[in-house]
A and B are shown apart, each in its own frame.
Chain A
């Protein structure tokens, strides 16, 4: 009896550790030719890229469990490597807020010059960001906002609301006037403000041309969740005219589900802008006809701004002598016509 239960225990632990190991999926945003720009090696003298005082930057982001997030860290590292005067300390991605807090605490203890932080949960990371700012370390908040404006010196945001607006406006532009289209939406993780913003923007833009969202499901940014959510959605809606999928990572699963169901009566619009999705748009042989960009290079921009901030340099091309407080990136629509322009900076999912 005892030995059987022992063996059960061993199997359990072994199984659990496999689960824990399996939880970290590989992300390869490969493309080394990616043009992220800048770097000391090509710097003109007198320009911002010219080597200055050594800057130590601490970087922390959530676990790279989807391509976009993997690309965030990859591109940040890549940009940091281009500068001889930047030392980047990367605390590897985690979705445990408690662990992410202790990573930032470690940066504070170390006395780094600046912290670039993409929080798993903006509100939960606010207290420790305030602590860093109090310690005189500027915090660059990327993508997911803190709930206290004093917790960050610079905030870099994508335009989530704008993504929804762009996707909605694109649908409106494709519609015959007065027609009532069936519009479906596959959202990302519903608990995140970014998902709520995207959906709000989508709804607002659609209402401009008298449309609304007929079917809406939420996935979790992963391929598996996208496949599941889309499978259910296609069952629920026998005929669709337009489908907006918030995220191209989960889009791989969404497209698979569409293929499995043998559906092709609608136009699908993606989100975030993965290289995968752009190749599909370029080839023009799936229902995916467009995607809306949400730059995966925001953390890389964060590294650049952190460096300028610490070295006391201004942002080139602006008259203002200090680095701005907030930078919001644009969410353009990518179609077959302009895909060549964007495919180089897209992320691999």
Chain B
């Protein structure tokens, strides 16, 4: 496959390697399998949820304030999920996102960091959060790509140790942010919408462009779909894998900043079980857990579906246990659907 492409044209080779894994059936099947088809399913699910919400809770669901409440809740987990999409498309998995978020939130709210922020600018805290996230991602990536540790194990180790380190740094206490500029900035409203929601939107847009309009995105798809073909096409698969985990680490840093702004605290208990939430959102968004295919739009829909589901349950005074049950069912349904699509793919 790669032989008949001129060796000089790197982009073309990457494209070819990527296409090898995304080639799909023709005709009606193609429509079903295309990202448009899959997102249509998500739109339907979202519309059904909204109809249920509006029918059961009326104005309380449809009000602008409620929409903003949903979006503010979706923002933190959404940013993590966008990063997670890249890692999963690249053939990996990351179980440590919640722990990285906690570590990042703690590190950037220590007295020393806050003192530095007070002496200069609150952006120091943002910088620290992103740097901590990126560093954790780098460790994950290096262990996986160069250490040969499978992603599941490497990030499981990070899950344990990052939260442990967060507990050591914070001495298991909740750290309160004394830099009002930091909190105020993210809670500021532009056109009635908080900055934190814009941050989520920005991350999603940048993620979409990165995945669909850049070589980095095409390489990610190639690496996840068929690492060997990607390597033959001249992609530095190992380094690319490292970069994917760093990208997710940075996303965790951004999410930490949003959560700190929302709670005015950093804590080693922040981000509990976010790995499950993020992976679930990515999976129901239509990203294949085996890698090689996935969409940012789908992930954003996945995050919104879960956030709206939570909101509708709260509005209707229903227990979260029922919601967990329904969530589990939705995940299983999404995976079964994926499996069918995958098996149809391999038979055509």
**Which residues between 172 and 199 of chain B lie within 8 Å of chain A, taking CB atoms?**
172-174, 176, 183
A59 to chain B, nearest CB (A): 10
Most chain B beta-carbon neighbours within 10 Å: one of A16, A106, A193: A106
Q: A97, B325: Cβ atoms under 8 Å?
A: no
Q: A98, B335: Cβ atoms under 8 Å?
A: no
A124 within 8 Å of B (CB atoms): yes
- Interfacial chain B residues near A120, Cβ < 8 Å: 269
Residues 126-160 of A, flagged 1 when their CB comes within 8 A of B and 0 if not, give 11000000000000000000010000000000000
A203 within 8 Å of B (CB atoms): no
B163 to chain A, nearest CB (A): 11
Q: A9, B288: Cβ atoms under 8 Å?
A: yes
**Which residues between 269 and 325 of chain A lie within 8 Å of chain B, taking CB atoms?**
none
B39 to chain A, nearest CB (A): 20
A89 within 8 Å of B (CB atoms): yes
Nearest residue, chain B, Cβ from A5? B290
Q: Which of A24, A127, A191 has a CB less than 8 Å from the CB of B174?
A: A191
A53 within 8 Å of B (CB atoms): no
**Which residues between 31 and 72 of chain B lie within 8 Å of chain A, taking CB atoms?**
60, 63, 65-66, 69-70, 72
B76 within 8 Å of A (CB atoms): yes
Q: How far is the CA of A3 from the CA of B331 in the complex (A)?
A: 19
Q: How far is the CA of A51 from the CA of B328 in the complex (A)?
A: 42
Most chain B beta-carbon neighbours within 10 Å: one of A13, A90, A94, A193: A13
Nearest residue, chain B, Cβ from A92? B320
Q: B73, A98: Cβ atoms under 8 Å?
A: yes
Q: A99, B310: Cβ atoms under 8 Å?
A: yes
Q: Which of B269, B288, B311, B320 has a CB less than 8 Å from the CB of A106?
A: B311
Residues 264-298 of B, flagged 1 when their CB comes within 8 A of A and 0 if not, give 11011110110010011001000011110000000
Q: B172, A17: Cβ atoms under 8 Å?
A: no
Most chain B beta-carbon neighbours within 10 Å: one of A8, A101, A121, A123: A123
Q: B331, A17: Cβ atoms under 8 Å?
A: yes
Q: Which of A19, A99, A126 has a CB less than 8 Å from the CB of B276?
A: A19
A152 to chain B, nearest CB (A): 16
Nearest residue, chain A, Cβ from B261? A127
Q: How far is the CA of A17 from the CA of B281 in the complex (A)?
A: 12
Known: A105-B72, A106-B314, A191-B174. A124 touches B263 (CB 8 A): yes
- Interfacial chain B residues near A20, Cβ < 8 Å: 273, 276, 280, 324, 327-328
Nearest residue, chain B, Cβ from A2? B290
Q: How far is the CA of A18 from the CA of B331 in the complex (A)?
A: 11
Chain B contact residue count (CB 8 A cutoff): 59
- Interfacial chain B residues near A114, Cβ < 8 Å: none
A14 within 8 Å of B (CB atoms): yes
A102 within 8 Å of B (CB atoms): yes
B75 to chain A, nearest CB (A): 9
Q: A13, B335: Cβ atoms under 8 Å?
A: yes
Q: Which of A18, A101, A109, A191 has a CB less than 8 Å from the CB of B60?
A: A109
**Which residues between 178 and 215 of chain A lie within 8 Å of chain B, taking CB atoms?**
189-191, 193
Nearest residue, chain B, Cβ from A90? B317
Q: How far is the CA of A126 from the CA of B342 in the complex (A)?
A: 48
B216 within 8 Å of A (CB atoms): no
Residues 217-261 of A, flagged 1 when their CB comes within 8 A of B and 0 if not, give 000000000000000000000000000000000000000000000
Q: A190, B289: Cβ atoms under 8 Å?
A: no
B327 to chain A, nearest CB (A): 7
Known: A106-B314, A121-B174. A93 touches B320 (CB 8 A): yes
A265 within 8 Å of B (CB atoms): no
**Which residues between 81 and 98 of chain A lie within 8 Å of chain B, taking CB atoms?**
89-98
Q: A96, B273: Cβ atoms under 8 Å?
A: yes
Chain A contact residue count (CB 8 A cutoff): 51
Q: B262, A12: Cβ atoms under 8 Å?
A: no
- Interfacial chain A residues near B331, Cβ < 8 Å: 13, 16-17
B129 within 8 Å of A (CB atoms): no
Known: A91-B314, A92-B321, A99-B310. A105 touches B69 (CB 8 A): yes
Nearest residue, chain B, Cβ from A105? B69
- Interfacial chain B residues near A93, Cβ < 8 Å: 320
Q: B174, A23: Cβ atoms under 8 Å?
A: no
- Interfacial chain A residues near B97, Cβ < 8 Å: none
Nearest residue, chain A, Cβ from B323? A92
Nearest residue, chain B, Cβ from A91? B314
- Interfacial chain B residues near A106, Cβ < 8 Å: 66, 69, 311, 314-315
Q: B324, A24: Cβ atoms under 8 Å?
A: yes
A308 to chain B, nearest CB (A): 23
Q: B264, A127: Cβ atoms under 8 Å?
A: yes
Nearest residue, chain B, Cβ from A59? B317
Q: How far is the CA of A120 from the CA of B271 in the complex (A)?
A: 13
B259 within 8 Å of A (CB atoms): yes
Q: A98, B273: Cβ atoms under 8 Å?
A: no
Nearest residue, chain B, Cβ from A122? B174
Q: Which of A6, A23, A98, A109 has a CB less than 8 Å from the CB of B289?
A: A6
Q: How far is the CA of A122 from the CA of B264 in the complex (A)?
A: 11
Known: A89-B317, A191-B172. A102 touches B289 (CB 8 A): no
Q: B320, A24: Cβ atoms under 8 Å?
A: yes
Q: B262, A127: Cβ atoms under 8 Å?
A: yes
B117 within 8 Å of A (CB atoms): no
Query: What are 12 A-B pairs with beta-carbon distances under 8 A?
Result: A5-B290, A13-B283, A20-B280, A20-B328, A23-B324, A96-B273, A102-B72, A106-B66, A106-B69, A106-B315, A122-B174, A127-B183
B residues neighboring A (CB under 8 Å): 60, 63, 65-66, 69-70, 72-73, 76-77, 93, 152, 167, 170, 172-174, 176, 183, 259, 262-265, 267-270, 272-273, 276, 279-280, 283, 288-291, 310-311, 313-315, 317-321, 323-325, 327-328, 331-332, 335, 339, 342, 346
Given A126-B264, A127-B263, 11 other A-B residues pairs in contact with their CB atoms under 8 A = A2-B346, A3-B342, A6-B290, A6-B342, A17-B331, A21-B325, A23-B324, A92-B320, A97-B269, A102-B314, A105-B69
